[in-house]
């Protein structure tokens, strides 16, 4: 299994490895596009375990994760959900944006995230105990949290926690260059543009220029798109629909690129 590219920033790899070794669940907090998902992908590959990823949303229920009975050819059969399947496989289960899921999902995780490492399937009257190889990882963006969407202390305290931020400029430029194929000098310009955007609080952007978006723009440049155009469609357009803000961001990009 090849390991996806991931550039360590601080001690997150060490934390993951210790959490995995001690059969502890892991909670990752950080802004959109800062590398949370890539980190989990890289760690799963390094541990040589399958990765089961669920992108949580408002309609994600406990049944979606655990499984349900289905009718096939006139017979009623049980179909495992991703959570149940991950436990049976001894996989790493990654629940992205966990705060977006319904409350019943979080409640189901409690017995899996603490010392019991179990779930109860009431429809099968079966208790599953996670093998040593299994690991539960959740992530969310604290910047998007609203009061009723926050994880309760009873949930948070079942996890080891990691906070991610966008890397310092030199490291972020290295990542963008590696991900996109552009030269380091151009990657540094893209990162400089992102730094300007991240400091423009007056625009009230719901999200800012992420490392992911910079890599998108870099890939477009790598295949021949002019830098200013690549920055516009790869970074600016995904950030806002406001004409005035787009124009101001493009002016900033034109100065730097």
Contact (Cβ atoms closer than 8 angstroms) between residue 236 and residue 194: no
Contacts of 35 (CB under 8 A, 6+ apart): 6, 9, 164, 167, 175, 211
Decide which of 123, 140, 163 is a domain's last residue: 163
Contact (Cβ atoms closer than 8 angstroms) between residue 28 and residue 162: yes
**Total structural domains within the chain:** 2
**Whether residue 142 sits in one domain with residue 123:** yes
Decide which of 128, 144, 163 is a domain's last residue: 163
The two three-digit tokens of residue 175, written as one number:
């990542």
Q: What pLDDT shows up at residue 184?
A: 97
**Whether residue 203 sits in one domain with residue 156:** no
**Whether residue 216 sits in one domain with residue 147:** no
Express each pLDDT in 12-21 by its tens digit.
999 999 999 9
75: β partners: 72
Angle between helices 184-198 and 243-256 (to 10 degrees): 140
Helix/strand/coil (H, E, C) string of the chain? Answer: CCCCCCCCCCCHHHHHHHHHHCCCEEEEECCCCCCHHHHHHHHHHHHCCCEEEEECCCCCCHHHHHEEEEEECCEEEEEECHHHHHHHHCCEEEEECHHHCCHHHHHHHHHHHCCCCEEEECCCCEEEECCCCCEEEEEECHHHCCHHHCCCHHHHCCEEEEECCCCCHHHHHHHHHHHHCCCHHHHHHHHHHHHHHHCCHHHCCCCCCCHHHHHHHHHHHHCCCCHHHHHHHHHHHHHCCCHHHHHHHHHHHHHHC
Tell me the C-alpha to C-alpha distance, in Å, between residue 148 and each of 5, 151, 152: 36, 9, 10
- Looking up residue 22, the CATH number of its domain turns out to be 3.40.50.300
Question: How long, in residues, is the chain?
Answer: 257
The mean pLDDT of the chain is 93
**Whether residue 118 sits in one domain with residue 20:** yes
Express each pLDDT in 15-74 by its tens digit.
999 999 999 999 999 999 999 999 999 999 999 999 999 999 999 999 999 999 888 877
**Whether residue 175 sits in one domain with residue 146:** no
Q: Is 6 contained in some domain?
A: no
Average pLDDT over residues 134-145: 86
Express each pLDDT in 87-121 by its tens digit.
999 999 999 999 999 888 999 999 999 999 999 99
pLDDT band at 144 (very low <50, low <70, confident <90, very high): low
Q: Is 1 contained in some domain?
A: no
Mean pLDDT is lowest, of 43-52, 100-109, 157-166, 171-180, for 100-109
CA distance 124 to 111: 17
Q: Domain containing 187: what range?
A: 169-256
- Whole-prediction pTM: 0.92
Tell me the C-alpha to C-alpha distance, in Å, between residue 2 and each of 31, 105, 178, 209, 214: 26, 32, 16, 29, 24
């Amino acid at each position: 299994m090849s390991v996806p590219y991931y550039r360590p920033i601080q001690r997150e790899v060490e934390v993951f490895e210790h959490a995995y070794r001690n059969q502890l669940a892991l909670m990752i907090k950080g802004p959109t596009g800062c590398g949370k998902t890539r980190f989990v992908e890289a760690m799963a590959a390094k541990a040589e375990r399958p990765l089961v990823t669920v992108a949580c949303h408002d309609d994600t229920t406990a049944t979606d994760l655990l499984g349900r009975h289905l009718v096939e050819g006139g017979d009623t059969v049980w179909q495992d959900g991703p959570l149940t399947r991950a436990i049976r496989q001894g996989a790493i289960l990654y629940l992205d944006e966990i705060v977006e899921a319904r409350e019943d999902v979080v409640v189901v995780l409690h017995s899996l995230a603490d010392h019991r490492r179990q779930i109860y399937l009431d429809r099968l009257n079966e208790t599953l105990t996670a093998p040593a190889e299994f690991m539960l990882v959740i992530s969310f963006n604290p910047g998007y949290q609203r009061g009723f969407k926050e994880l309760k202390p009873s949930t948070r305290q079942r996890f080891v926690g990691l906070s991610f931020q966008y890397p310092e400029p030199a490291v972020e430029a290295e990542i963008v260059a590696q991900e996109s194929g552009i030269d380091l000098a151009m990657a540094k310009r893209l990162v400089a543009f992102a730094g300007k955007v991240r400091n423009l609080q007056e625009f009230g952007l719901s999200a800012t220029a992420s490392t992911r978006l910079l890599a998108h723009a870099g890939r477009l440049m790598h295949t021949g798109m002019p830098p200013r155009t690549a920055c516009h469609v790869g970074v600016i357009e995904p950030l806002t629909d406001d004409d005035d803000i787009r124009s101001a961001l493009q002016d900033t990009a034109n100065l730097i690129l």
